[in-house]
């Protein structure tokens, strides 16, 4: 079977989802998990866009060794040079440079003539090729470009040294039959196309990103640019888990293979969800809670008699084979650490020590500790290590005949601040008290609560989205006490604001 290379852009395009910003340490954590997942390429970021992006790319390049580490750059000298600086420590560095190729983008965004665009692209590829051994080129908005111009542009950049030609459906405009024909036309009309591989980067504005990607692969594309959980600009990107499992399940129709360790798919999906505070929709293919659930009596009867009647893949094949109840109050540190490793949650000795204390506290509050609880604890703990603010204490007075009042104590760097506030409800009172203690003006845009695990003693997970200075920041927190989870999520979002403010 032919090999399809998996190019993961969760850390670059995925992070451009409104509210999905990550700290440097969170990006490194996710990049390490992507390496365990087996992706071929990690697009670590767009380093010229901010010092934060540059630092994250450098850290990933220095420490994550198995995949190719790519950095994005526009077709201008400064972008190329900074991208080269960002990935120079990688064992396998790549610069991914791009320029718009559609008439509407060239005229209104670039204000350049077609020949000028080709000249800029050639120059950028040559400059990048002098810095790294592998260069990828993308004609932005390719699907709305003039085909003859696109053929000429691709031919020129391949001559200049590009080894991967990525065809983006930048605005999610294509439909599968059209996009497959588009790729086939490029394969047949670019004279030197045999010297490079075709990649595709499909957006999901019409819900067709996965279908378009698969159509492209059937017509000659050999690299798929994807994101975990399909996150990305606007409606997102093609979903890694859906692309990979489509090829795994339908090998009769899709005779291709990847290097992805599918048993790490669920762990990776959960980790991303916890980091950015975006809950996984219950009906999400492959990784959603309902993906392997059966409520209909007919379906239940069929599955009990023979699983394949209603399941085209097994939960085990995507890493959902772990036992639900894994640990309790009598579990030792060795068993605790072993389970973390089995879930792909690799922590150093100090992190395990801190987390074990929180695990014991949780075990005292609930009889059964689930894998989902561990994901939530790890995400919380890693976020706290790099926090400008930490919640030391909170107390709530509330009821149907009293005004909800919150008292909180916040540690701000080395300073302890205590404040109190009333609100429309206990959650509103907590948020108002935190605002008063920290002194940052915020607007709450979204507040989501869901249970991480089942039962009356379930871990509750809260996600919030705050608007601060016209930018959006997400935060998440988890606890068996939903008010505590709300406070932790709010503080987490404020910490993301401070971390990004400091890096810029």
The residue-averaged pLDDT of 55-73 equals: 97
DSSP one-letter string for 348-411: -HHHHHHHHHHHHHHHHH-S-EEHHHHHHHHHHHHHHHT-SEEEEEEEEEEETTEEEEEEEEEE
Torsion of CA 99, 145, 4, 86, to 10 degrees: 10
Tokens describing residue 415: 């300073």
Domain-located, residue 292 = no
pLDDT of 124-141, one tens digit each?
A: 999 999 999 999 999 999
Domain boundary among 276, 305, 327: 276
If asked whether residues 345 and 423 sit together in one domain, one would say no
Q: Residue 473 has what pLDDT?
A: 82
**Domain CATH number, residue 442:** 3.30.160.270
Query: Which residues are registered as beta bridge partners of 416?
Result: 411
Q: Residue 325 has what pLDDT?
A: 42
165 vs 383, residue with greater confidence: 165
pTM for this structure? 0.77
Domain boundary among 336, 366, 383: 383
The residue-averaged pLDDT of 283-296 equals: 77
pLDDT of 177-211, one tens digit each?
A: 999 999 999 999 999 999 999 999 999 999 999 99
Q: How far apart are CA 90 and CA 84, in angstroms?
A: 10
Domain-located, residue 351 = yes
Q: How far apart are CA 182 and CA 176, in angstroms?
A: 10
Q: How far apart are CA 400 and CA 398, in angstroms?
A: 7
Q: How far apart are CA 33 and CA 268, in angstroms?
A: 6
If asked whether residues 333 and 362 sit together in one domain, one would say yes
If asked whether residues 45 and 78 sit together in one domain, one would say yes
If asked whether residues 348 and 432 sit together in one domain, one would say no
If asked whether residues 96 and 231 sit together in one domain, one would say yes
Domain-located, residue 227 = yes
Domain-located, residue 204 = yes
**Domain CATH number, residue 30:** 3.20.20.70
DSSP-H helix ranges across 417-457: 426-438
Q: How far apart are CA 277 and CA 473, in angstroms?
A: 10
Domain-located, residue 154 = yes
If asked whether residues 109 and 183 sit together in one domain, one would say yes
Predicted confidence (pLDDT) at residue 315 exceeds the cutoff of 60? yes
Q: Residue 338 has what pLDDT?
A: 78
Q: What percent of the chain has pLDDT over 90?
A: 62
**In which element (H, E) is residue 339 found?**
helix 333-342
Q: What size, in residues, is the chain? A: 504
If asked whether residues 174 and 307 sit together in one domain, one would say no
Predicted confidence (pLDDT) at residue 71 exceeds the cutoff of 90? yes
The residue-averaged pLDDT of 115-131 equals: 98
The residue-averaged pLDDT of 338-343 equals: 76
Whether 460 contacts 449, CB under 8 Å: yes
If asked whether residues 349 and 258 sit together in one domain, one would say no
54 vs 25, residue with greater confidence: 54
If asked whether residues 338 and 392 sit together in one domain, one would say no
If asked whether residues 148 and 203 sit together in one domain, one would say yes
Predicted confidence (pLDDT) at residue 334 exceeds the cutoff of 80? no
Domain-located, residue 40 = yes
350 vs 66, residue with greater confidence: 66
Whether 118 contacts 166, CB under 8 Å: no
Q: Residue 382 has what pLDDT?
A: 59
* Residue among 380, 338, 368 at smallest CA distance from 456: 368
pLDDT of 442-453, one tens digit each?
A: 999 989 887 776
Domain-located, residue 215 = yes
Whether 39 contacts 8, CB under 8 Å: yes
Handedness of CA 327, 330, 336, 339 (dihedral sign): negative
In terms of Cβ atoms closer than 10 Å to its own Cβ (0-12, 13-18, 19+), residue 362 is buried
Confidence band (pLDDT; 50, 70, 90) for 416?
Answer: very high
Domain-located, residue 281 = no
Q: How far apart are CA 44 and CA 90, in angstroms?
A: 11
If asked whether residues 254 and 116 sit together in one domain, one would say yes
Predicted confidence (pLDDT) at residue 347 exceeds the cutoff of 90? no
Q: Residue 379 has what pLDDT?
A: 65
Neighbouring CB atoms inside 10 A of 173's CB total 16
Give the residue numbers spanning the domain of 479. 387-503
Tokens describing residue 402: 């009293």
* Residue among 6, 3, 4 at smallest CA distance from 240: 6
Domain boundary among 317, 351, 383: 383
Output helix, strand, coil percentages for the chain, rounded to the nearest 5.
45, 25, 30
Predicted confidence (pLDDT) at residue 399 exceeds the cutoff of 70? yes
Provide the domain count of the chain. 3
Query: Which residues are registered as beta bridge partners of 167?
Result: 200
Confidence band (pLDDT; 50, 70, 90) for 336?
Answer: confident
Q: Residue 322 has what pLDDT?
A: 42
If asked whether residues 212 and 340 sit together in one domain, one would say no
């Amino acid at each position: 079977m032919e090999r399809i290379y998996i190019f993961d852009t969760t850390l670059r395009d995925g992070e451009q989802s409104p509210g999905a910003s990550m700290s440097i340490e969170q990006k490194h954590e996710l990049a390490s998990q992507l390496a365990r997942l087996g992706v071929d390429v990690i697009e670590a970021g767009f380093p010229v866009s901010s010092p934060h992006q540059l630092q994250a790319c450098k850290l990933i390049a220095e420490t994550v060794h198995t995949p190719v580490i790519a950095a994005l750059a526009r077709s201008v000298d400064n972008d190329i040079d900074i991208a080269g600086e960002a990935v120079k420590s990688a064992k396998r560095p790549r610069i991914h440079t791009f320029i718009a190729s559609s008439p509407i983008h060239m005229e209104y965004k670039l204000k350049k003539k077609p020949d000028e665009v080709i000249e800029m692209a050639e120059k950028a590829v040559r400059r990048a090729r002098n810095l790294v051994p592998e260069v990828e080129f993308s004609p932005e908005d390719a699907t709305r470009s003039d085909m003859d111009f696109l053929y000429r542009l691709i031919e020129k950049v391949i001559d200049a040294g590009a080894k991967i030609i990525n065809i983006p459906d930048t605005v999610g405009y294509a439909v599968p039959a059209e996009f497959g024909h588009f790729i086939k036309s490029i394969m047949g009309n670019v004279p030197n196309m045999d010297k490079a591989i075709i990649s595709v980067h499909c957006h999901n504005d019409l819900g067709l990103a996965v279908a378009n990607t698969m159509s492209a692969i059937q017509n000659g594309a050999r690299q798929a640019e994807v994101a975990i959980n399909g996150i990305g600009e606007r409606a997102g990107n093609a979903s890694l888990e859906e692309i990979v499992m489509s090829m795994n399940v339908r090998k009769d129709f899709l005779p291709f293979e990847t290097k992805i360790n599918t048993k790490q798919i669920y762990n990776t999906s959960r980790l991303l969800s916890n980091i950015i505070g975006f809950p996984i929709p219950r009906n999400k293919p492959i990784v959603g809670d309902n993906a392997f659930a059966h409520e209909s009596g007919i379906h239940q009867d069929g599955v009990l008699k023979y699983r394949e009647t209603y399941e085209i893949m097994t939960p085990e094949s995507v890493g959902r084979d772990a036992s639900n109840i894994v640990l309790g109050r009598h579990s030792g540190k060795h068993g605790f650490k072993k389970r973390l490793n089995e879930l792909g949650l690799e922590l150093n000795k100090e992190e395990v020590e801190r987390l074990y204390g929180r695990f014991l506290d949780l075990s005292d509050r609930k009889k059964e500790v689930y894998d989902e609880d561990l994901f939530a604890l790890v995400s919380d703990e890693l976020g706290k290590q790099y926090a400008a603010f930490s919640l030391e204490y909170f107390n709530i007075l509330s009821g149907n005949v009293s005004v909800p009042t919150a008292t909180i104590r916040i540690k701000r760097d080395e300073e302890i601040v205590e404040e109190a506030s009333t609100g429309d409800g206990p959650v509103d009172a907590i948020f108002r008290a935190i605002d008063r203690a920290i002194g940052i003006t915020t607007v709450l845009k979204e507040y989501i609560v869901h249970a991480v695990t089942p039962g009356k003693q379930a871990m509750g997970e809260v996600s919030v989205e705050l608007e601060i200075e016209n930018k959006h920041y997400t935060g998440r927190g988890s606890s068996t006490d939903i008010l505590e989870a709300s406070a932790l999520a709010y503080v987490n979002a404020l910490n993301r604001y401070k971390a990004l403010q400091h890096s810029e």
